[in-house]
Structure 1
């Protein structure tokens, strides 16, 4: 039960500014298709951002043009939700606040307007936009639970072509969510719980499709992002997510950090932790940054720290 006591942190941190939605756990992080449909017809509709992206698929914008939620604006994860890749910064370094602000204004984001982000992958890429906007001070950002599939299943309208938004005036500031660098991630691995959100075989070091070295940060715990979702691509209930993270050693009393390959699906894990009422910090550079530094130790196998498991 001590994980539940961490929920007040979420209200002031990850969930801050959205308590008017009632905050029975996950409501500040997620929105269902039916609820979103109603909000889009209201006098104050949220800004919809389509963040379709997948490793090895450069055609997100084509998928968007072929069919998206009405009025949604396409967001390019590689160029708008990340700075140029490189070495120890990793494959998806955080953009500067100034660059993110220019992008957000280009999407039509105005001060105080709610935002809903979605993709067609259970929110695993859209969560990057959720995290970045929350980090940059936008209070009301939610992920469409069940992604594009849930919207289609509900029988709601799909639009083709491209939405050209009227530019917005939002002003962004950095630092509203906790962030880790490599040293910080190493500290959390020793003193708290550092979750590795990649597939288990990448964690164990059996396969490494993109980054310089295979394995994981010593002391990190394997916690594949996909396990946050049910068979329909929706987030598990707050209780089930809390049980998942408690079983991984998260008890609410010590710091929690998350990393993945390049800081994209780790944001999804942070969203799932927020649904469960647990605040966690993102190691934005993630494995792509850690493994690019030859001075950083690497563990393999299933043991959390020794590399011999």
Structure 2
């Protein structure tokens, strides 16, 4: 379950190998606007549209959260319908800083496929957009069980488990100042805040590697080992995975980070406990060996 492809690639990299990759448009909007309509209004030439609600998520429930992983066969069917096969290299994009397309990238990389996020998203492409969908032959994509060794349980986030828990949501949601989605405000107790959107520059591209490493180390993370990350509903964690010790921002991180079943499923969000702060972010101290010290 490894990928030689870094999790972020630039548009120039894509333009140099148009016949070697499949571009996937994964636009989706929290306010209910149609991602498909946005795709039909204009997309990167040759890109296929991936419907997040239909193929990348299962039905929400109190037990599973707001956007649980779909059945592997459902995911495989969506890939086949889009003309994507096991051997294809997929580059996904959105217009939201990568926080939506990151879901598809994680799902593919975690099951052993070659996939990356387009650095800068749709805005990185400066050519004329396409408004029609090119026909593709159905793909040959094999359903693969989700690698549960890469997934963390709610219990894994409890104090004393030796894990560093990272909340990738915006600071106002983490601090409990407002939340447009979840009924309770705040964050998982002892979680640190590393907002994924703050890892991008004004153009929507990743910050320089050195700055990303400094930001991660600044909140006490010296290794990607024993890090559990979460967002509001499992959609947007990849853009904040740029940990120390990588040759490129984020390289290898998606397969070393463990993913918790998100804030929407945590007991706190349901009304049992609440951690709310408007002050500085706290974090676990790190021992010289790089392991977390609760």
**What's the TM-score once normalised by structure 1's chain length?**
0.81
CA contact (8 A) 1:49 1:73 kept: yes
Q: What residue is the counterpart of 1:17 in the other structure?
A: 3
Q: What does 1:19-168 align with in structure 2 at a 5 Å threshold?
A: 28-40=6-18, 44-138=19-113, 140-152=114-126, 156-168=127-139
1:198 equivalent in alignment to 2:169: yes
Distance verdict in 2 for CA 1:70–1:49, change over 3 Å: same
Distance verdict in 2 for CA 1:39–1:254, change over 3 Å: closer
Distance 1:137 1:253 in 2: 19
Deviation at 1:235, TM superposition (A): 1.0
Tell me the alpha carbon deviations over residues 238-283 of structure 1, each in whole angstroms, 9 at most, x when there is no partner: 222111111111111751111111011123323x347245431111
Higher helix share: 1
CA contact (8 A) 1:80 1:100 kept: yes
Tell me the alpha carbon deviations over residues 33-69 of structure 1, each in whole angstroms, 9 at most, x when there is no partner: 12211211xxx42111100112114211111001111
Distance 2:272 2:164 in 1: 18
Distance 1:254 1:75 in 2: 31
Aligned length, in residue pairs: 273
Secondary structure of the equivalent of 2:91? strand
Long gaps (5+) in structure 2: 284-294
Distance verdict in 2 for CA 1:167–1:236, change over 3 Å: same
Distance 1:49 1:136 in 2: 17
Distance verdict in 2 for CA 1:94–1:245, change over 3 Å: same
Distance 1:292 1:220 in 2: 12
CA contact (8 A) 1:215 1:299 kept: yes
Distance verdict in 2 for CA 1:17–1:205, change over 3 Å: closer
1:281 equivalent in alignment to 2:258: yes
Deviation at 1:72, TM superposition (A): 0.7
Distance 2:184 2:163 in 1: 24
Secondary structure of the equivalent of 1:180? coil
Computed over aligned residues only, the root mean square deviation of the Cα atoms, in angstroms, reads: 2.2
CA contact (8 A) 2:166 2:194 kept: yes
CA contact (8 A) 1:215 1:300 kept: yes
Distance verdict in 2 for CA 1:33–1:261, change over 3 Å: same
Deviation at 1:124, TM superposition (A): 1.4
Distance verdict in 2 for CA 1:137–1:299, change over 3 Å: same
Distance 1:254 1:162 in 2: 41
Long gaps (5+) in structure 1: 1-12, 22-27
Of structures 1 and 2, the one with the larger relative CO (CA 8 A, separation 6+) is 1
Deviation at 1:292, TM superposition (A): 7.0
Moved more, 115-124 or 170-179: 170-179
Distance 2:250 2:272 in 1: 32
Deviation at 1:172, TM superposition (A): 3.4
Secondary structure of the equivalent of 2:30? coil
